[in-house]
Amino acid sequence: MNQFAVRVEGLKKSFGSTQALDGVDLGIPTGTVLGLLGPNGAGKTTMVRVLTTLLKPDAGRAWVAGHDVVVQPQAVRRSIGLSGQYAAVDENLTGIENLYMVGRLYGLSRAVARARAKELLERFRLTEAAERPSKTYSGGMRRRLDLAGALVAAPPVVVLDEPTTGLDPRGRLDTWSLISELVGDGTTVLLTTQYLEEADQLADNIVVIDRGRAIARGTSDELKAQIGGERLQVVVAHPDQVAIARSVLTDVGTGELLVDEHLRRVSVPVSGGTKALIEALRRFDAEGVEVLDVALQRPTLDDVFLTLTGHLAEETEQAEMKTEMAAS
Amino acid sequence: MSALTQAIRDGGVITWRNLVGMRRVPDALIGLTIQPIMFVVLFALVFAGSLGGAPYREFLVAGIFAQTVAFNVFFTTIGMANDLQKGIIDRFRSLPMSRTAVVLGRAVSDLGVSVITLIVMSLTGLVVGWRIRGSVLDALAGFGLLLLFSFAMSWIGVFVGLTARNVEVAQSAGLIWLFPLTFVSSAFVSVQGFPGWLQPVGEWNPVSAVARASRELFGNPTQLPGFGESSAWPAQHAALYAVLSSLAIVAVFLPLAVARYRRVASR
């Protein structure tokens, strides 16, 4: 029982006619990171809101650090730190005031709250901006401050709801390295994300969620194997070279070829990414094949969804929006 | 720690946070103090001439006090709706803090706003000729009564702010009911001048009682020239009725506001 810092059994929650969570089970072993992967409207945020006691489930149970979220919400709140999708910092307060306030509300004494705020600002590289109102912060800085807020009381479980949505690539990398550090400390993390790449980087285990149901689970490698991994695709200049392309890609690939004679396009699943690409190009060069286009395609969330559900993530989103509009 | 001490401790943190916020964005506070100054000056200059001159000015100032502390509820509504919309309420609700602290802190910090507006208005009143003619203790009791009413009213503001779907809705819903509340009262005119059917509404309106009780405690005229004294119970026991209705408002809206806070789903 105790090896799971977070446990969820048959969780259900609906809003009007929309079933946001439709019987989800999951467990996060203590000290690991679970990536909850899914498109907008899949039920990720609802899951977060139930686990952080912001929302009561219709059915099912959930425990955080051994405490039932419905029966012992205050004990759950003491064990959990939340960093939201929209950085929930008070924009009129300075960086240090924000963290001091959160520390006080976790029940820390004035002195401890102040010391903790300083320590976190330093760790999150916000010391220079510590005395500035947080409304003057960049998006990335706000997100870092929000993340720091989740860690003020050094809770055993941290929930990060789409921590990099809306950040530029640099901000994203930045946040990733902060989260990796956090995991090094033995904190248990629930991370929701729309990006397979992000779950891949940070999560020990991934649960793919769609329309309120967990549709796949496993490590990043297991999921990728299920989806089929990367594909190498080439377009050759002349129709008579398609045959050569077939034989080259059969050699470097790991699976079945997809051939479009008309477009002179051949693709194949590969493992070891760029190695296969270089090998293929070397062979084409040696055979004198003129290559018009070559691409190494990594599986995206869309591929995951197409493979696992037979529909695109985008469609879920639109269906979700329609239901929401109909409901309101 | 008992629930009450935790509510007070956490409420103190939220009050501090709200006051720091007000200091950083003083625009709202400036608007809030300029408006009562305008009211005092405009009514004293424009209406007093037609309504009896100096006695009207004496009558008027306590009425504007009552109206203004009632209008401060608007400030509370907006503050609460803002917190909700910005997502900070989510953070508070995920923290192991008292469930009463956010709403309590809002009501207390807005009491601070009322203290400031009362000081500004009193000074303006003195400039246009208003005087405290009773004892210092009575005058302090008068200000205390106004602040109690202000505190009571902010619980309505908290409730409305947490119920409105967004700040824009809060802005209209938070303001519109304040006009009939403060104008259908003896704050500016005599209730005896109302149509017969409206007179009981004006007499039992807590704003009338607060205005009248302040007038009594400041030693100002409680009725306009040309009108007889009201025989209605609230007018005869203005201070008592003002306190009772303030307590009643707290008794109804404090639990409503806290219940709303517990259930509220932001965004």
Find the CB nearest B21 among A49, A77, A90. Answer: A90
Percent of chain A residues topping a pLDDT of 70: 89
Q: How many residues does chain A have?
A: 328
Neighboring chain B residues of A104 at a CB cutoff of 8 Å: 10, 13
Average pLDDT over chain A, rounded to whole? 86
**Touching check for A301 and chain B: CB below 8 Å?**
no
**CB–CB of B96 and A97 under 8 A?**
no
- pLDDT tens for each residue of A107-161: 999 999 999 999 999 988 899 999 999 999 988 888 889 999 999 999 999 999 9
Averaged pLDDT, A212-221: 87
Distance in angstroms (rounded) separating the CA atoms of residues B229 and B58: 16
Q: Is the pLDDT of residue A180 over 60?
A: yes
Q: Look at the alpha carbons of B181, B186, B191, B194 in this order and tell me if their dihedral is positive or negative.
A: negative
Find the CB nearest B17 among A52, A101, A106. Answer: A101
**Touching check for B93 and chain A: CB below 8 Å?**
yes
What's the gap in Å between the CA of A222 and the closest CA on chain B?
34
The reported pLDDT for the residue numbered B239 is 92
Phi, psi (5° rounding) for residue A217? -150, 155
Q: Which of residues 226-255 of B touch A (CB under 8 A)?
A: none
If you measure CA to CA, which chain B residue comes closest to A78?
Answer: B96
The reported pLDDT for the residue numbered A302 is 66
Q: Which of residues 3-32 of A touch B (CB under 8 A)?
A: none
Neighbour-count burial for A248-269, b at 16+ CB within 10 Å, e otherwise: bbeebbeeeeebeeeebbbbbb
**Touching check for B92 and chain A: CB below 8 Å?**
yes
The reported pLDDT for the residue numbered B267 is 38
The reported pLDDT for the residue numbered A87 is 60
**B209 bridge partner residues:** none
Q: Is the pLDDT of residue A324 over 50?
A: no
What's the gap in Å between the CA of A53 and the closest CA on chain B?
7
Strands A33-37 and A205-210: parallel
State the residue range of the domain holding B65: 3-263
**CB–CB of A102 and B91 under 8 A?**
yes
Q: Is the pLDDT of residue A320 over 90?
A: no
Q: Look at the alpha carbons of A203, A208, A213, A217 in this order and tell me if their dihedral is positive or negative.
A: negative
**CB–CB of A84 and B90 under 8 A?**
yes
Distance in angstroms (rounded) separating the CA atoms of residues A8 and B93: 21
**CB–CB of B95 and A106 under 8 A?**
yes
**Touching check for A131 and chain B: CB below 8 Å?**
no
Among residues A58, A42, A50, the alpha carbon closest in space to that of A213 is found at: A42
**Touching check for A133 and chain B: CB below 8 Å?**
yes
**CB–CB of A77 and B96 under 8 A?**
yes
- pLDDT tens for each residue of A14-60: 988 888 999 999 999 999 999 999 888 889 999 999 999 988 999 99
Which positions of chain B have pLDDT values less than 50? 266-267
A186 pLDDT tier (thresholds 50, 70, 90) = confident
The reported pLDDT for the residue numbered A326 is 46
Percent of chain A residues topping a pLDDT of 90: 43
Total domains present in chain B: 1
**B192 bridge partner residues:** none
The reported pLDDT for the residue numbered A232 is 86
Q: Is the pLDDT of residue A86 over 70?
A: no
Q: Which of residues 14-33 of B touch A (CB under 8 A)?
A: 16-17, 20-21, 24-25
**Touching check for A89 and chain B: CB below 8 Å?**
yes
**Touching check for A137 and chain B: CB below 8 Å?**
no
Taking CA atoms, A71 is separated from A274, A303, B51, in Å, by 52, 40, 63
Please say whether the beta carbons of A29 and A52 come within 8 A. Answer: no
ipTM exceeding the 0.90 mark: no
Q: Which residues lie below 8 Å from residue A183, measured CB to CB, with a gap of 6+?
A: A31, A32, A33, A189, A202
Domains of chain A: residue spans and CATH? 4-225 (3.40.50.300), 230-297 (3.30.70.100)
DSSP string of B188-202, one letter each residue: TS-GGGS-GGGHHHH
Among residues B257, B233, B60, B8, the alpha carbon closest in space to that of B152 is found at: B257
A254 pLDDT tier (thresholds 50, 70, 90) = confident
**Touching check for A328 and chain B: CB below 8 Å?**
no
- pLDDT tens for each residue of B67-80: 999 988 888 999 99
Q: How many residues does chain B have?
A: 267
A276 against A308, higher pLDDT? A276
A227 against A255, higher pLDDT? A255
The reported pLDDT for the residue numbered A300 is 66
The reported pLDDT for the residue numbered A322 is 47
| Number of Cα atoms under 13 Å in the Cβ half of residue B236 | 3
- C-beta contacts of B58-61 below 8 A and 24+ residues apart: B58/B129, B58/B130, B58/B131, B58/B220, B58/B221, B59/B215, B59/B220, B59/B221, B59/B222, B59/B223, B59/B224, B60/B130, B60/B188, B61/B121, B61/B125, B61/B128, B61/B130, B61/B220
The reported pLDDT for the residue numbered B70 is 92
